[in-house]
């Protein structure tokens, strides 16, 4: 039987190692050092040498600490197809790469352990602030070792909602229509640029809820577990077709149902 607490410790250790590398590369970039930058799905979907270097470090450390486990990473895809222990590590080497490029400090390294596609342990580490968000399934979530318990907002009108936008222009326009409609239903909207940190913000109660369409597994694998273990109601991509096939929502349990209803009413399924 896999010890999920030990998986959390490994996730935190590996994410922290990668975060230190990313912090150094960001400092170099701010100091004027050159860095290669490429694109993926669109001109705005960027990948840097630091993304690749961070993922390779994570893979190397996981190979030392958990030899034989499978790894799914944003930049290099799948490694081993199967793991004897049934564990797959889901890795985002820099979540918020555009923020990283601009020097905006909201970016993070995300590492999660999944069993049968379900996150059981995870860590999100912020290179600039040094904050460490962690969670173990069924045990709890923590920020720098302190237990997390999210917001208990009970009014949709007073809900602070975080969101994000896709890279494709046509989808961004549909998302903008959804958020424009939601602005009349909630207190305000926040857009931070890192889905992992948005989910952690729900866990901390810094926002009341978060929703987005089009995320990949590495974007949410650790953050969604952290939010859920802090008491948030979490809906993952594929869970609720009425919100959209690839929608994710994390919200204080007290406003989850009215928020879901409002998102559906505002056209979430058409995003």
Specify whether 130 is located in the same domain as 204: no
- Residue 136 tokens, joined: 């173990």
The pLDDT of 6-26, averaged and rounded, is 97
Give the pLDDT score at 182. 98
Cα 31 off chain centre by: 28
Other CB atoms within 10 A of residue 56 CB: 16
Could you tell me the residue range of the domain that residue 19 belongs to?
4-147
Other CB atoms within 10 A of residue 249 CB: 28
The pLDDT of 124-128, averaged and rounded, is 98
Chosen domain end from 128, 147, 166: 147
The pLDDT of 235-251, averaged and rounded, is 97
Query: pLDDT band at 257, cuts 50/70/90?
Result: very high
Contacts of 78 (CB under 8 A, 6+ apart): 70, 71, 72
Which tens digit of pLDDT belongs to each residue from 52-73?
999 999 999 999 999 999 999 9
The pLDDT of 145-167, averaged and rounded, is 96
The pLDDT of 188-199, averaged and rounded, is 98
Query: pLDDT band at 75, cuts 50/70/90?
Result: confident
The pLDDT of 180-190, averaged and rounded, is 98
Specify whether 81 is located in the same domain as 196: no
Specify whether 259 is located in the same domain as 233: yes
Chosen domain end from 85, 114, 147: 147
Distance (Å, rounded) from C-alpha 40 to C-alpha 214? 15
Is the per-residue pLDDT at 177 higher than 80?
yes
Q: How large a percentage of the chain has pLDDT more than 90?
A: 86
Which tens digit of pLDDT belongs to each residue from 199-218?
999 999 999 999 999 999 99
Is the per-residue pLDDT at 195 higher than 80?
yes
Phi, psi of 9 (to 5 degrees): -60, -40
Query: pLDDT band at 192, cuts 50/70/90?
Result: very high
Give the pLDDT score at 41. 73
Is the per-residue pLDDT at 94 higher than 60?
yes
Distance (Å, rounded) from C-alpha 51 to C-alpha 136? 26
Tell me what the pLDDT averaged over the chain comes to: 94
Chosen domain end from 90, 112, 147: 147
Specify whether 120 is located in the same domain as 192: no
Give the pLDDT score at 78. 64
Query: pLDDT band at 84, cuts 50/70/90?
Result: low
Specify whether 24 is located in the same domain as 137: yes
Give the pLDDT score at 82. 53
Query: pLDDT band at 80, cuts 50/70/90?
Result: very low
Specify whether 55 is located in the same domain as 136: yes
Number of domains the chain is built from: 2
Q: For position 42, which CATH number holds?
A: 3.30.540.10
Specify whether 195 is located in the same domain as 141: no
Specify whether 61 is located in the same domain as 83: yes
């Amino acid at each position: 039987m896999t010890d999920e607490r030990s998986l959390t410790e490994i996730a935190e250790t590996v994410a922290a190692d990668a975060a230190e590398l990313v912090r150094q590369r960001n400092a170099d970039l701010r100091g004027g050092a050159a860095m290669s930058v490429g694109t993926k799905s669109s001109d705005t979907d960027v990948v840097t040498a630091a993304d690749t270097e961070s993922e390779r470090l994570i893979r190397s450390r996981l190979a030392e600490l958990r030899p034989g486990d499978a790894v799914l990473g944003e930049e290099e895809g799948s490694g081993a197809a199967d793991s004897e222990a049934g564990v797959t590590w889901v890795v985002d080497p820099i979540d918020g790469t555009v923020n990283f490029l601009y020097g905006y400090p909201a970016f993070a390294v995300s590492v999660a352990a999944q069993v049968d596609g379900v996150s059981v342990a995870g860590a999100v580490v912020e290179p600039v602030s040094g904050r460490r968000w962690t969670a173990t399934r069924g045990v709890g979530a923590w920020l720098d070792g302190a237990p997390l318990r999210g917001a208990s907002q009970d009014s949709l009108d007073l809900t602070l909602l975080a969101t994000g936008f896709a890279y494709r222009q046509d989808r961004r326009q549909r998302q903008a229509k959804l958020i424009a409609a939601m602005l009349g239903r909630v207190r305000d909207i926040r857009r931070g640029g890192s889905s992992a940190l948005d989910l952690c913000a729900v866990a901390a109660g810094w926002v009341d809820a978060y929703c987005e369409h089009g995320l990949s597994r590495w974007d949410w694998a650790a953050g969604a577990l952290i939010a859920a273990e802090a008491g948030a109601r979490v809906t993952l991509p594929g869970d609720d077709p009425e919100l959209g096939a690839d929608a994710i929502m994390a919200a204080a349990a007290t406003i989850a149902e009215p928020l879901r209803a409002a998102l559906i009413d505002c056209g979430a399924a058409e995003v």
